[in-house]
Structure 1
Amino acid sequence: MRIRAERDDLVDVLGRAARAVSPRSPLPILQGLLVTVGGHMMRVTGTDLDMTVRTELEVEVLEEGQAVVPARLITEAARKLPSGAVVLATADGEVELSGGGPRFRFRELPVADFPAVPEPSLQDAVEVDGDDFVAALAQVAVAASHDDARPVLTGVYFEATDAGLRLVATDSYRLALRDLPAVRSSMTGLVPVRALRELSRTVASKKMRIAVGSREASFGSSRGTLTVRLIEGSFPNYRQLLPTGYPSRLTVSRDALLQAIDRASLVAEDHIPIRLQLEAGGVELSVSRQDVGGETEHVPAEYRGDEMTIAFNSRYLNDGVAAVEEEQVVLDVVDPLKPGVVRGAEGEDYLYLLMPVRL
């Protein structure tokens, strides 16, 4: 195998495929990238058996072939070469990368040991606007859990509804929901949030194709494909968590509220809640720590309802408000012990439900 390509293009195609490679894999072969060269193309595959990323690049093919190269080393070596044309070649059990003077040599990994990863199934895929889809994923991914002890909470639930595709995530303390009316399909499945966070770094593009099957989800574009195994198990019945009505509503500037939360978080940190005193004319945010001190400020806003004090985890509250894409944010509440809902003042496609902290 021997190819010539521009350094920056080679770094891009290797680096994106390497996002699927786990450096802590107990199997040495899974720390490598499968590079296949034929025709005018170089195809690169990285996998950890749960997630697989495939990328490809049009190159000058000097000799066709196939090799498994160490993912981290080959990507970093390519990045450190001078800009311009570089040559990637294999011979006698070694892979050689050279260009502009420097020459790297690394030991190849056995091609026969690389797992046979099935090709992504995109025949029945739905085409979506990639920018809108990635933005919607970012809005809900903040609510997904990082605790592998509860796998069903570490994913984003894709649900086909009469209103289009719905994305839902929860870690049991908060829940984020986003509807995509423009995406009409019958796909339903629980997709690992780790893989979804990699979309923007690997294959996301203006136009994307999405397919969710019975065992895996596939995402494709002109930049390549990402395939991931679905999470087994039943997603919680999130609908029963959504209150049917909210007697009290706060409407406030998103930026003003975020700045106030940021100042209060300086004192609160993660374990101290922020108190919100909801009253006519606005909201007063306050936080107090016996060993440090406190912070209090008033944010002008429109409030409809009975006066009350409700408290939230500062980071969770910040995540929800930051995810809203409008200038005005609405906080709907029932009472200090029931979940509050953050949403945009105009749009109905996104909501963020947050459990309060008992005072």
Structure 2
Amino acid sequence: MKLRTDLAPLAAAVTDAARALPAKPPVPTLAAIRLHAAAGALTVAAFDYETSARATVDAEVTTPGTVLVSGRLLADITRTIKGTHPVDLELDGARLLLTSGRTCYTLHTLPLEEYPTLPRPAEASGTVAGPALAEAVHQVATAAGRDDALPILTGIQAEIGDHAITFAATDRYRFALRTIAWTPAAPTGTTDKVTIPAKSFAEATKILATDEQVHLTLPASHGVLGLAGHARTLTLRAMEGQLPDHTALWPTDFTATADVDTAELAAAVRRMSLVVERGHAVKLHLTDGALALSAGTATDASARDQVAATTDLLTGAPVSIAFNPGYLLDGITALNTDRIRLQVVHPVKPALLSPTAEDSTALRYLIMPIRQAG
């Protein structure tokens, strides 16, 4: 193998492919990145049996070929090299020479025959806008669980219809829901559901966030979700099972509503968090024309604050509700809107966070309150 390519796109391709490298590879070859040079292009790929990532860059290929090299080392090298010199890659026996300007590295290669076959998505099931996909997955990933003892809750469920995809995630204490439009290759009139590990899904869609269109291949018998952009292709193995049915969770009748500036509310919650001990809450008090916040205890540090709000107290009386400050701040931040609406049913029932603008496709964030003493 012998080729020349530009440093910046090579570094970006290696970085993107390296996202699929396992943290603790069971065998050395799974810690490798596969470099394949052919027909004016270099394809950089990684695979850990659950996730695969391919990135393609233009290259002047003198001698086609394929090699395996340490993924972390190659990523560190391409990230560290500076300047505008092109990068030359040349296979010399069992070693790969990487040269850029006066800098030269010699990398040991690994046996290709021990590397697993990279999965290839079947024909695309449809297309979706890359920026919208990345935003939606990032938003709902906030609510995904992180406890491997309940693996299905660490995933994001995609419910795919003929015109829209609805993403959902929950850790039992909050539930996030977001819908985006998509264009299926062949509408079927049915709805498919697939659950993908949240962390991997968020990483994959982040890589494709700048692609105007992303081609999706829905899992079939092989259970792999495919995502392909202009120069990046990724596969993610689907999880077994589905999230609990959430259709009955979303409240429609509320006793109090507060519309508030998102940045002001987030800043106030952060200030309250400074005096909140583990397992305790930030209390929100909805009054006429204001949203008051309090935290702490009488025997320790405490704090109070207030932000302006447009409130609607349907019962006429102030309403108080308490939340885990981290969960509350996660939801406020994920909404990505200038103004936020808090809707309360009861102090011990889930409350709803959403944008103030009416949009049925926007993120909805359901959060369980913490029961207050007394």
Per the TM superposition, whether the score is higher than 0.5 is: yes
What is aligned with 2:334?
A: 323
Q: Where does the alignment leave 5 or more consecutive residues of structure 1 unmatched?
A: none
Alpha carbons of 1:182 and 1:107: their partners in 2 closer, same or farther (altered >3 Å)? Answer: closer
What is aligned with 1:110?
A: 111
What is aligned with 1:196?
A: 201
Asked whether the 8 Å contact 1:199–1:226 carries over to 2, the reply is yes
Instruction: Report how far residue 162 of structure 1 moved.
Output: 7.2
Separation of aligned partners in 2, 1:183 and 1:177: 20
3-state SS of the aligned residue for 2:52?
A: strand
What is aligned with 1:229?
A: 237
Q: Report how many residues are paired.
A: 358
The one-letter amino acid paired with 2:349 is K
The one-letter amino acid paired with 2:257 is R
Asked whether the 8 Å contact 1:42–1:59 carries over to 2, the reply is yes
Q: Where does the alignment leave 5 or more consecutive residues of structure 2 unmatched?
A: none
Instruction: Report how far residue 199 of structure 1 moved.
Output: 2.3
Matched, 1:208 2:214: yes
What is aligned with 2:322?
A: 311
Instruction: Report how far residue 292 of structure 1 moved.
Output: 4.6
Separation of aligned partners in 2, 1:334 and 1:244: 9
3-state SS of the aligned residue for 1:11?
A: helix
Matched, 1:274 2:287: no
Separation of aligned partners in 2, 1:255 and 1:353: 19
The one-letter amino acid paired with 2:309 is A
What is aligned with 1:301?
A: 309
Separation of aligned partners in 2, 1:93 and 1:296: 66
Alpha carbons of 1:290 and 1:93: their partners in 2 closer, same or farther (altered >3 Å)? Answer: farther
Alpha carbons of 1:289 and 1:109: their partners in 2 closer, same or farther (altered >3 Å)? Answer: farther
3-state SS of the aligned residue for 1:15?
A: helix
Separation of aligned partners in 1, 2:181 and 2:65: 45
What is aligned with 2:360?
A: 348
Instruction: Report how far residue 280 of structure 1 moved.
Output: 1.3
Alpha carbons of 1:127 and 1:247: their partners in 2 closer, same or farther (altered >3 Å)? Answer: same
Separation of aligned partners in 1, 2:212 and 2:59: 24
The one-letter amino acid paired with 1:192 is P
The one-letter amino acid paired with 2:360 is E
Asked whether the 8 Å contact 2:226–2:233 carries over to 1, the reply is yes
Q: CA RMSD in A?
A: 1.8
What is aligned with 1:28?
A: 28
Percentage identity across paired residues of the two chains: 28
Aligned ranges 1:1-359 → 2 under 5 Å: 1-83=1-83, 84-121=85-122, 123-161=123-161, 164-182=164-182, 186-204=191-209, 205-214=211-220, 215-268=223-276, 271-289=279-297, 292-305=300-313, 306-346=317-357, 347-349=359-361, 350-359=363-372
Deviates more, 1:177-186 or 1:67-76: 177-186
Asked whether the 8 Å contact 2:194–2:242 carries over to 1, the reply is no
3-state SS of the aligned residue for 2:248?
A: helix
Deviates more, 1:140-149 or 1:304-313: 304-313
